[in-house]
Structure 1
């Protein structure tokens, strides 16, 4: 293999990586550009790449559509559903890992794979009987179907990596099993907890179906708010794009802030030995 061939072989992976990055980022860049254009520019026959940006779409979304309230609703539902998922899921994952309940972990995976619409009708009937349709309670409980299996499935591998000797030593020193779990085990699996929590919150934040059917005017979340910008007569593409940017931005900032923990968590969970 001559020098030119070696250089081409080294360059090809970088070109493919660059192409993949461009393909993944293009929809977001296009969405950002649409949010800064007027309706006339967005509906032009030939796409405009050079234009004078305007923030009118963002003002329209925030001031005229109570978007901050929708964002607050999404934050309440996503954070609470993730916190409850942690409270219930971490002990469950620990028990599955320690007692080798492979069958139970498989059922949790199956519940994660089942389409969410399967749960929608039973939940709707139950919450209707309880007069909870349109409440935060209904949304948070329904979002547990998203967050709980995900948290359990991700953190099982991390608990399996913790030697049982650490717990036994803590028990010998007089600690209870709960105390050993809280003070010793949980700090050791912190990367996995952060990873599971961030992914669960992202899935909850983006959930549309449960929020559309089980939510109400006062608990409407941001995905439903964006959907309401669509109409049969016309579509305000700039406002839709601006709302989509506002929805995506918190998740992007959160992911960038904790990206090192996510990478560490995803790689640590797959290492055995």
Structure 2
């Protein structure tokens, strides 16, 4: 008997358990979104049921979810673009000029729980009459996106050789010119990775939007709570809304997973 066979069997079983634990809730969510509330509670119809699209009709037509989708897209896109414009040059400066104290501040910003800032943020932005608008949502989402982008891009810039930049400096370019003409084009994969992850985090963000959004600026994660009532829960509508939130991000992640992995591991083997 091959001594490595038991290990291979164990590895296959462990992988199957992990995949099943991750996929089973998603499959149940999609299946529940195609059932009526009566069928959801009926254990005999856990697998055999007559699918219906009424829940999606209620979500997309009656619950104004098209507007909420637009809100989520706008907030996530704006927060990502602004964070990239600020974070990429900041990460380059920290990487090339050995700004360890600034990097420590960025790391602390990633560690600090966002919930600890909600009360002071709400107090400040309410006095500025900004609560309920898109501006405050974008700024709050940048609190998550900006440190993430800086953290990823620092590792990516650390993995790039400095010889090309030194040659550009010898040819008369400034540090800004070398960054714009040499380093930035080479770092496009890292920028794409940071931007994708920033967009995903912003799209899924619930806590900031729950406190700081208004009736017209709700994002999808907050709008899901419209299906949770005081006395009852519309499970079919809730699962359909959750599916609308989840599937776009899952599709994006599947198509760009190799770029995400390469971007996250950049710099890990330097030296």
How many residues align structurally? 271
User: What residue is the counterpart of 2:162 in the other structure?
Assistant: 164
Structure 1 position 247 matched with structure 2 position 245:
yes
User: What residue is the counterpart of 2:153 in the other structure?
Assistant: 155
Cα distance in 1 for partners of 2:26, 2:267 equals 30
Cα distance in 1 for partners of 2:44, 2:122 equals 46
User: What residue is the counterpart of 1:261 in the other structure?
Assistant: 259
What do you get for the CA RMSD once the two structures are aligned? Answer: 1.5
Cα distance in 2 for partners of 1:132, 1:110 equals 26
Cα distance in 2 for partners of 1:120, 1:182 equals 37
Q: Structure 2 length as normaliser, TM-score?
A: 0.95
Q: Could you tell me how far 1:174 is from its partner in structure 2? A: 2.7
Structure 1 position 73 matched with structure 2 position 76:
no
User: What residue is the counterpart of 1:108 in the other structure?
Assistant: 106
User: What residue is the counterpart of 1:20 in the other structure?
Assistant: 18
Q: Matches of residues 83-162 of structure 1 in structure 2 within 5 Å?
A: 83-162=81-160
2:130–2:136 Cα contact (<8 Å) kept: yes
Cα distance in 2 for partners of 1:121, 1:48 equals 43
User: What residue is the counterpart of 1:236 in the other structure?
Assistant: 234
Q: Could you tell me how far 1:131 is from its partner in structure 2? A: 1.6
Q: Could you tell me how far 1:45 is from its partner in structure 2? A: 5.0
Cα distance in 2 for partners of 1:268, 1:205 equals 24
Q: Matches of residues 169-184 of structure 1 in structure 2 within 5 Å?
A: 169-184=167-182
SS of residue matched to 2:227: coil
Q: Structure 1 residues 177-186 or 6-15, which shifts more?
A: 6-15
1:192–1:269 Cα contact (<8 Å) kept: no
Q: Structure 1 residues 207-216 or 172-181, which shifts more?
A: 172-181
2:158–2:267 Cα contact (<8 Å) kept: no
Q: Could you tell me how far 1:16 is from its partner in structure 2? A: 1.1
Structure 1 position 53 matched with structure 2 position 61:
no
Cα distance in 2 for partners of 1:183, 1:19 equals 48
SS of residue matched to 2:183: helix
Segments of structure 1 that go 5 or more residues without pairing to the other structure are: none
Cα distance in 1 for partners of 2:143, 2:233 equals 33
Q: Matches of residues 174-213 of structure 1 in structure 2 within 5 Å?
A: 174-213=172-211
Cα distance in 2 for partners of 1:225, 1:136 equals 15
SS of residue matched to 2:190: helix
Segments of structure 2 that go 5 or more residues without pairing to the other structure are: none
